[in-house]
Structure 1
Amino acid sequence: MQVTFLGTSSGVPTRARNVSSVAVRLPQRSELWLFDCGEATQHQFLRSELRISQLRRIFITHMHGDHIFGLPGLLASLGLAGNCGGIDIYGPDPLRDYLESMLRTSSTRIGYPLRTHRVNTAASSGIVLLDDKEFVVKCALLSHRIPAYAYRIDQKPRMGTFNIAKARELGIPPGPIYADLKAGHEIILADGRIIKGSTLCGPQKPGYSFVYCTDTVFTESAINLARGADLLIHESTFAHSETEMAYQRQHSTTIMAAQTAAEAKVGQLVLTHLSPRYAHGNILTPADLLNEAKAIFPSTFLAKDFLSFEIIPKVSSSSDL
């Protein structure tokens, strides 16, 4: 599972950081899922190695402009490209009205299926938001000035390593039948023997887990959603010295993000949604924010635009991003 940051600033873009957006490339699929879509996200796609044509799902955390103003242009461009098979968008209750109003007033035609899904019920009840056979998505209500949601993706356990030598010993001829066996399916050979794929595969491999959490002040719901995840991407708008401002504006400090990661026992923490006040050359810089968080949660890294990496399972040793 590959994560690429397309925007890591809070509120407004800077020369080095665009506003919020994170793309996730699903393993063994030509498919991208997008989390938030700040202004100029489609331009960030063009500057990255990602293919916008692979976009299938968009998850919106809340209705503040730095998280949604990129949606109209992105959706319109997908329609003009003419090769979009459909987009599912998940988010707060007002999202559907926002999109319908935008499309209507701008006379924009979307020539592909566009489906919107409200997430409030799933967040308030704890039920699964999405189950697409390989991945499960859950969400949780955060603590912000308006309704905001965190999202978690869990990849389901995968079949273990296929034992080719054992398959050959059983006289199973190589070919497409191996794919069925690798998937754990039961097959019938030409001689009538029934072979269960699970008997030719090693122990199941755990899937990857990823949590995207912004915008919020410190809250137990974020801890519960992130518990045991391989990767937590958490907003870190303010330094610890500005905790009072963080509470006033309902955003997190470096310490809040690190405490969430520590209490949830995640594998790695990545800080994003940094205030422009910490640009290089100011009294406090992003490096200072990183050091504050690492003092509490050592496996912390700092996001920057176009940073791309593979999620590292918790069972493996952490390495620098």
Structure 2
Amino acid sequence: MQIWFLGTGAGRPNKQRNVSSIALQLPEPCSNWWLFDAGEATQHQLMNTPLKLSKLDTIFVTHLHGDHIYGLPGLLSTRSFDGGVTPLRMIGPRGLRRYIETVFEISGTTLDYELEYVELGEADGQLAYEDERFSVVASTLIHRVPCFGYRVVEHDQPGRLLADKLKQLGVAPGPQYGLLKQGQDITMQDGTVIYANDVTAPSLPGRVVTILGDTTPCANVLELAMGADLLVHEATFAAGMEEKAHLFGHSTTVEAAKAAAEAGARKLVMTHFSGRYHNENLLQLEEEAQTLFGAATAATDLTCIEIERRT
């Protein structure tokens, strides 16, 4: 599982940073990926990654400020040209559907695939998405417009089959392997029972990734980030600028670090930096956060991070 930072700037793009967008590459055997926000020129940033728009199947939107959604119409249109024909889920605040449909109506845009909308109410801990491998919970944050954070939870995966042990027990590859892999015990022709737990390695623990929209410090940040393997938290301003940050519904580096520490996250990646900070300032911003949380880093555009599984 990998996470790509397509845009790490706040408000407007500059020469070093594009505006907000994050891609989450799902683990094998999945070939699909998810997108969190799509600021202006997100599709341009994607050209610098191996991610294909035809494999994008879900977009999560944190809120409807322009630096998080102005890239959506062009990206959705290009997906048709890139061979995207499968339905695409759009999950986000109320008004998301009206925004997209209005732009497409006025511009005469048509798509070769269906858009499926899920508009979230302003509630905490609501299930935004679930399938056999993942669940995603959304909760409200404190910003100037309705805004959400998302907690992506990968379900634990069955351990691998111990092929050498199965061979010793006389179990030939085939349908019985599949049953054991699913955790079902099998009975051999001679009446011997092979217990699935005896011939499989321990299950693989699922990973937790928390991706927040714009926010000032609040209780739901901690709920969403509790025990996360990776927390993505905005850090629009440097330490000491808390009053200005809160005035505009944002956080500072030390507030992001404090949240990661209190939530027991394994790693913190800060993003959504004000245009007043250049990439040369990121080391200072990292050091501010690391005074409270050692595993803190500042993302730059096109940073790709592997999300390690707990052992």
> What is the CA–CA distance in structure 2 between the aligned matches of 1:4 and 1:125, rounded to whole Å?
27
Question: Once the 2 structures are TM-superposed, how far is the Cα of residue 113 of structure 1 from its aligned partner?
Answer: 1.4
Q: Say if 2:257 is the partner of 1:258.
A: yes
Residue of structure 1 in register with 2:51 after alignment? 50
Question: Once the 2 structures are TM-superposed, how far is the Cα of residue 203 of structure 1 from its aligned partner?
Answer: 2.4
SS of 2:276 mapped into structure 1 = helix
Q: CA 1:168 to 1:262, structure 2 compared with 1: closer, same or farther past 3 Å?
A: same
Q: Say if 2:310 is the partner of 1:309.
A: no
CA deviations over 1:54-79 (Å, ceiling 9, x no partner): 10000000000000001000101112
Task: Pick which of 128-137 and 57-66 moved more.
Answer: 128-137
Q: Say if 2:293 is the partner of 1:297.
A: yes
SS of 1:276 mapped into structure 2 = coil
Q: CA 1:156 to 1:65, structure 2 compared with 1: closer, same or farther past 3 Å?
A: same
Q: Say if 2:282 is the partner of 1:286.
A: yes
The TM-score normalised by the length of structure 2 is 0.94
- Asked whether the equivalents of residues 54 and 83 of structure 2 are also in contact (C-alpha less than 8 Å), the reply is no
What is the one-letter code of the residue matched to 1:75? L
Superposition pairs of residues 17-56 of structure 1, within 5 angstroms: 17-28=17-28, 29-56=30-57
What is the one-letter code of the residue matched to 1:296? L
Superposition pairs of residues 112-191 of structure 1, within 5 angstroms: 112-120=113-121, 124-175=123-174, 177-185=176-184
CA deviations over 1:199-237 (Å, ceiling 9, x no partner): 421322210110001200111111111101100000000
Q: CA 1:12 to 1:125, structure 2 compared with 1: closer, same or farther past 3 Å?
A: closer
> What is the CA–CA distance in structure 1 between the aligned matches of 2:228 and 2:278, rounded to whole Å?
30
> What is the CA–CA distance in structure 2 between the aligned matches of 1:83 and 1:193, rounded to whole Å?
50
> What is the CA–CA distance in structure 1 between the aligned matches of 2:303 and 2:7, rounded to whole Å?
10
What is the one-letter code of the residue matched to 2:134? F
Residue of structure 1 in register with 2:111 after alignment? 110
SS of 1:166 mapped into structure 2 = helix
Residue of structure 2 in register with 1:244 after alignment? 243
> What is the CA–CA distance in structure 2 between the aligned matches of 1:200 and 1:65, rounded to whole Å?
53
CA deviations over 1:14-53 (Å, ceiling 9, x no partner): 1121111111111110010001111111111111122222
CA deviations over 1:102-141 (Å, ceiling 9, x no partner): 11111111111110101226xx152322110100100110
Question: Once the 2 structures are TM-superposed, how far is the Cα of residue 252 of structure 1 from its aligned partner?
Answer: 0.6
What RMSD over aligned residues (CA atoms) do the two structures have, in Å?
A: 1.9
Structure 2 alignment gaps of length 5 or more: none
SS of 2:164 mapped into structure 1 = helix
What is the one-letter code of the residue matched to 2:173? P
SS of 1:291 mapped into structure 2 = helix
Identical positions, percent: 41
Question: Once the 2 structures are TM-superposed, how far is the Cα of residue 194 of structure 1 from its aligned partner?
Answer: 6.3
> What is the CA–CA distance in structure 1 between the aligned matches of 2:191 and 2:301, rounded to whole Å?
57
Residue of structure 2 in register with 1:319 after alignment? none
> What is the CA–CA distance in structure 2 between the aligned matches of 1:209 and 1:138, rounded to whole Å?
11
Q: CA 1:69 to 1:180, structure 2 compared with 1: closer, same or farther past 3 Å?
A: farther
The TM-score normalised by the length of structure 1 is 0.91
Residue of structure 1 in register with 2:93 after alignment? 92
CA deviations over 1:247-295 (Å, ceiling 9, x no partner): 11110100110111011010000000011101146xxx12111110010
Q: CA 1:163 to 1:36, structure 2 compared with 1: closer, same or farther past 3 Å?
A: same
Q: CA 1:117 to 1:168, structure 2 compared with 1: closer, same or farther past 3 Å?
A: same
> What is the CA–CA distance in structure 1 between the aligned matches of 2:40 and 2:175, rounded to whole Å?
46
Task: Pick which of 134-143 and 191-200 moved more.
Answer: 191-200
Structure 1 alignment gaps of length 5 or more: 317-321
Residue of structure 2 in register with 1:13 after alignment? 13
Q: Say if 2:68 is the partner of 1:67.
A: yes
Task: Pick which of 175-184 and 78-87 moved more.
Answer: 175-184
Task: Pick which of 197-206 and 221-230 moved more.
Answer: 197-206
